[in-house]
């Protein structure tokens, strides 16, 4: 079976619950069964340091996104957009311990359109993560924009 | 009679030329505002396929002092994506509102930023179109453009507002403020265009 890798990213904040959920023996065993034998974590300012490969910050994560087959991320629009455009499988975990509920609109829209798999609250990470990883193979591809749309928009203004 | 018909022919010809020119060959003087982080990324993504070489006379990119790394990021993106641009001039203005600044103090800093922007934009009176995707800094720029138009300092500069991709159900604060002011209001999600009737949705732009 092809060896696949997972990249977990939490952005600039901390999200220990997410890192812990993937960094334990049980989860690792199940991931191996699914064909994922490499996990890299970007843990930001988190307190928990995983046993798997990890780092805190980098100026650009583009390379890590490109290398990964599956990306598990917090609900940050920039990360999600960049990964969608790379046509990666994405699992978005909403960090409801942070007060950023304006991202919920985006979270709901993307999960509804099956562009990403979503985990709604921190409490559900442990129970849902593996299921969502299985589900992620059925995600739809993000439709790339038609190239000349912006031209016609600007032209229509004059 | 002959002179008259020649005159009419000439008029038709000039009119025809004028139509073609204005429709297809018109070059715009364009001002694009870059906010910080996500705003810049989205703006670059939206404009990635725009034919700047053919459509742009003068191209001005604007950022605020606080976002001093933006020119570098923009330059890198342009290089990475091999976007052909005419010569770009950067304009730097004051920032009107820091992230999480309170509304009351925002008003004072916005007034200061507006005055500063007024002076700077006096140098750029040839603008045809201003493109923004809603960082706070866009509000003083729009106020200044409109004020200078009223004071006969400049011709009318059209405003294109592109709402952030993150906005699915509700407009951002800048979006709400510029909803009636902008000449074209573009959104990235169909749900927004159904709720706000002035908003145009033409599929996702990024």
- Taking residues B34-58, report their average pLDDT: 87
Domain that holds residue B193: 24-201
Q: Count of domains in chain A?
A: 1
Q: Answer whether A104 touches B (CB < 8 Å).
A: no
Q: What is the ipTM of this complex?
A: 0.81
Tell me which residue of B165, B166, B204, B202 sits closest to B184, measured CA to CA: B202
Question: Are B64 and B92 a contacting pair, CB within 8 Å?
Answer: yes
pLDDT tens-digit map of A55-89: 999 888 889 999 999 999 988 888 899 899 999 99
Q: CA-to-CA distance for A38 and A48, rounded, in angstroms?
A: 19
Express each pLDDT in B149-185 by its tens digit.
999 999 999 999 999 998 999 999 999 999 999 999 9
- B49 CB neighbours in chain A (<8 A) are 145, 147-151
Q: Considering only CB atoms, which chain B residues are within 8 Å of A109?
A: 168-169, 189, 191
Closest CA–CA distance from residue B154 to any residue of chain A (Å): 17
| Any domain includes B206 | no
> Do the chains contact at A105 and B170, CB–CB below 8 Å?
yes
What CATH number is given to the structural domain containing B57? Answer: 3.40.50
The answer to the question of residue B104 being in a domain is yes
B19 contacts chain A (CB < 8 A): no
CATH code at A12?
3.40.50.2000
pLDDT, position B178 = 95
At residue A110, the pLDDT reads 93
Higher model confidence: residue A36 or residue B66? A36
Q: Pick from A60, A81, A104 the residue to mutate for testing the B interface (most B CBs within 10 Å).
A: A81
Number of domains in chain B: 1
Identify whether B7 is part of a domain. no
Is A40:A52 a contact under the CB 8 Å cutoff?
yes
pLDDT at B22: 57
Please write the tens of the pLDDT for every residue from A21-62: 999 899 999 999 999 989 999 999 899 999 999 999 988 888
| Domain of A68, in residue numbers | 4-155
d(CA A2, CA A38) in angstroms, rounded, equals 12
Please report whether residue B49 resides in a domain: yes
Q: What is the pLDDT of residue B64?
A: 84
For the segment B77-108, what is each residue's pLDDT rounded down to a tens digit? 888 888 888 888 999 988 766 666 777 887 88
**Do B161 and B172 form a contact (C-beta atoms < 8 A)?**
no
Of B29, B48, B204, B37, the residue nearest B128 (C-alpha): B29
């Amino acid at each position: 079976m092809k060896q696949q890798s997972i990249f977990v990213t939490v952005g600039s904040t901390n999200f220990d619950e997410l890192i812990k959920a993937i960094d334990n023996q049980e989860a690792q065993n199940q991931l191996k069964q699914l064909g994922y034998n490499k996990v890299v974590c970007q843990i930001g300012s988190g307190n928990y340091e995983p046993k798997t490969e990890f780092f805190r910050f980098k100026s650009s994560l583009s390379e890590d996104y490109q290398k990964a087959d599956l990306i598990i991320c917090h609900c940050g629009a920039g990360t999600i957009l960049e990964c969608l455009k790379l046509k990666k499988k994405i699992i978005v975990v909403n960090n409801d311990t942070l007060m950023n509920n304006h991202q919920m609109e985006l979270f709901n829209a993307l999960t509804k359109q099956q562009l990403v798999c979503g985990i709604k609250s921190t409490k559900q990470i442990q129970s849902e993560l593996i299921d969502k990883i299985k589900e992620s193979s059925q995600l739809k591809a993000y439709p790339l924009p038609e190239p000349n749309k912006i031209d016609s928009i600007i032209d229509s203004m004059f | 009679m002959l002179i008259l018909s020649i005159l009419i022919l000439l008029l038709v010809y000039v009119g025809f030329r004028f139509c073609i020119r204005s429709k297809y060959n018109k070059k715009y003087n364009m001002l694009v505002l870059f906010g910080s982080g996500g705003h810049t990324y989205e703006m670059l993504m939206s404009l990635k396929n725009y034919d700047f070489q053919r459509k742009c006379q003068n191209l001005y990119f604007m950022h605020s002092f606080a976002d001093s790394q933006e020119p570098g990021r923009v330059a890198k993106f342009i290089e990475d994506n091999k976007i052909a641009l005419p010569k770009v001039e950067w304009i730097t203005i004051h920032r009107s509102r820091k992230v999480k600044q309170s509304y009351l103090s925002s008003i004072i800093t916005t007034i200061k930023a507006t005055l500063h922007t007024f002076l700077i934009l006096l140098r750029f009176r040839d603008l045809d179109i201003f493109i923004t995707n809603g960082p706070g800094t866009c509000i003083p720029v729009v106020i200044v453009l409109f004020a200078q138009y009223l004071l006969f300092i400049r011709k009318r500069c059209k405003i294109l507002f592109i709402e952030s991709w993150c906005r699915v159900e509700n407009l951002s604060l800048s979006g709400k403020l510029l909803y009636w002011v902008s000449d074209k209001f573009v959104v990235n999600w169909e749900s927004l265009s159904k709720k706000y009737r002035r908003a145009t949705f033409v599929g996702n732009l990024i």
